[in-house]
Structure 1
Amino acid sequence: MIRSLWTILTTVALVNALALGGFVGWLISSHRLNTERLERVRAMLAETIEEEQARLAKEEQERQAAQLAAKQAEEQRKSPVAAVGRLQLAAEVSELVQENLERARKEQEALKRALAIERTALENERAKFLAEKNAFEAMRQQIKAAESDAQFKKTIRLYESIKPAQAKDMLLALLNQGNTTQVVAYLNAMSPRAAANILKQLKDDPALAADLLERLRSFGLDPKLADGP
């Protein structure tokens, strides 16, 4: 009897398995079931009804909380307080821009003033140079006129004819009277030998001798010192 019961149960189970297999085969062949749908069914059946209800309730709470937060954010954006904040921010940005523009303007003005000062200094230097040049040219013309004068030539012959020591004393007297240009003109008009002999007498005052030599160079003459009279 037990064997008969076991045979019946086995037969029923086999028939159910075949029926289930046939049903699944029909679902697949009729494109009503695929791997993705089968996975969704498995996931759904893996969760109990109580767990599903708890999950759905939690998701609903989260959705409502998100909606409430979005609504509050929108209300805050539209509120007068938020508008005032935006206006204040815009005012601060505008003030910062104005400060930067003002700083740039002041720096530009300072640069212009510096350039103007430098240009004025250059113009003053140029005017000074031209004045000195004109004065030098005028002095050269006076010296040239004096050198062509008969009295000037007579004086030069006198200096060349007397002893160098005596000529030195006479020229020093003129220097002490402030007639430096006249002394240089005399030395320049003399023969190089005579001028060199007179300058040799200034061995006790090498600074004065060097100064006179430098002034002679400005006349275009570099005297060569010769030995003896």
Structure 2
Amino acid sequence: MRRLLNALAITLALNFVAVAGFVAWLHREGRLTRENVQAIRNILFPPPPPPQVSLTTQPAEPAATRPVLRLEELLARYAGRPPTEQLEHIRRSFDAHMAQLERAHRELLDLRRQVLKEKEKLAEDRKALEEDRRKLAAREQEAQALASDKGFQDSLELYLSLNPRQVKTIFMGLDDATVVRYLQAMEPRAAAKITKEFKTPEEIERLKRLLERMRQAQASAGS
């Protein structure tokens, strides 16, 4: 009996030495966190087992993840091996658990970066939309100012009184924006008579640009 007690005492002492060495290794590696201290405390002083349930009680749902192996489980698995080898296996088990935690932490950081990126993109889209609205409002104000301008009205009346071919010749000497403003201020029938006079390849190419700008202006006004 005395030999058995001595052997048990020696085994316990070796286990505590192994745990102390593992704690020192954690401290040296900078991994001795509050969570690790709590895990080691649970290993050395495990909580009491849950009360026995009756046979009629439904079994509890299995845990989603397996908890960290207790020290006695690891020691039992590698019983009979030198303490240094037992310590090495315990260290590997903790390293695997730490790697899992670090991987989950990286995934959380990646998700956070993705959310921030989406927020930045949304802010940029909102800024671009506000800029488009501002430009549209400025164009509308400019069009209203031109329509109310007496000089513009006089020029418009003059163009409407001229032959469509003459107006086409005048428009070929003006910039696209000015021509589009005059065409938009005219009745559709009067504007169509002028655009029909664009016949040469150069004039047809110019007319395409004018019609495209008119279409874009109408689309912006409609949205």
Counterparts of 1:220 and 1:87, CA distance in 2: 78
**Length, aligned pairs only:** 144
Aligned partners of 2:192 and 2:120: how far apart in 1? 45
- The residue aligned with 1:186 is 182
Residue equivalent to 1:65: none
1:138, distance to aligned residue in structure 2 (A)? 0.8
1:116–1:162 distance in 2 versus 1, CA, 3 Å: same
Q: How far is the alpha carbon of 1:131 from its aligned partner?
A: 0.6
Cα distance in 2 between the residues matched to 1:128 and 1:86: 63
1:215 lines up with 2:213 in the alignment:
yes
The aligned counterpart of 1:128 is 128
Which structure's residues are more often helix, by fraction?
A: 1
What residue number does 2:52 align with?
Answer: none
CA RMSD of aligned residues (A): 2.7
Question: CA shift at 1:219, angstroms?
Answer: 4.8
Contact 1:146/1:152 (<8 A) preserved? yes
Which structure would you say has the larger RCO, counting Cα contacts within 8 Å and 6 or more residues apart? 2
Q: Which runs of 5+ in 2 are unaligned?
A: 15-80
Q: What TM-score, normalized to structure 2?
A: 0.56
> What is the alpha-carbon distance in structure 1 between the residues aligned to residue 179 and residue 113 of structure 2?
47
Residue 146 (structure 1) aligns with: 146
Q: Larger C-alpha radius of gyration, 1 or 2?
A: 1
Q: TM-score, normalised by structure 1?
A: 0.54
Matches within 5 A, 1:62-101: 78=11, 80=14, 81-101=81-101
Q: Distance in 1 between matches of 2:211 and 2:96?
A: 68
Per-residue CA deviation, residues 35-73 of structure 1 (Å, 9 max, x unaligned), is xxxxxxxxxxxxxxxxxxxxxxxxxxxxxxxxxxxx9xx
3-state SS of paired residue (2:198): coil
1:165-212 Cα offsets, whole Å, 9 max, x none, are 22122222222xxxx332211101112122111211223344432332
- The correspondence for 2:193, drawn from 191, 197, 201, is 197
User: For the structure 1 residues 208 and 117, does the alpha-carbon distance in structure 2 shift closer, same or farther, using more than 3 Å as the test?
Assistant: farther
- Give me the whole-angstrom Cα distance separating, in 1, the residues matched to 2:119 and 2:164: 52
Give, in angstroms, the shift of residue 98 of structure 1: 0.9
Distance, in Å, in 2 between the alignment partners of 1:99 and 1:208 is 67
Q: CA deviation at 1:155?
A: 0.8
The 3 A distance-change label for structure 1 pair 207 and 104 is farther
- How many Å separate the matches in 2 of 1:96 and 1:152? 80
Structure 1: 5+ residue stretches without partners: 1-70, 222-229
Q: CA deviation at 1:105?
A: 1.4
Summarize the Cα distance change of 1:102–1:218 in structure 2 as closer, same or farther, 3 Å threshold.
Answer: same
Say if 1:188 and 1:219, in contact at 8 Å, map to a contact too.
Answer: no
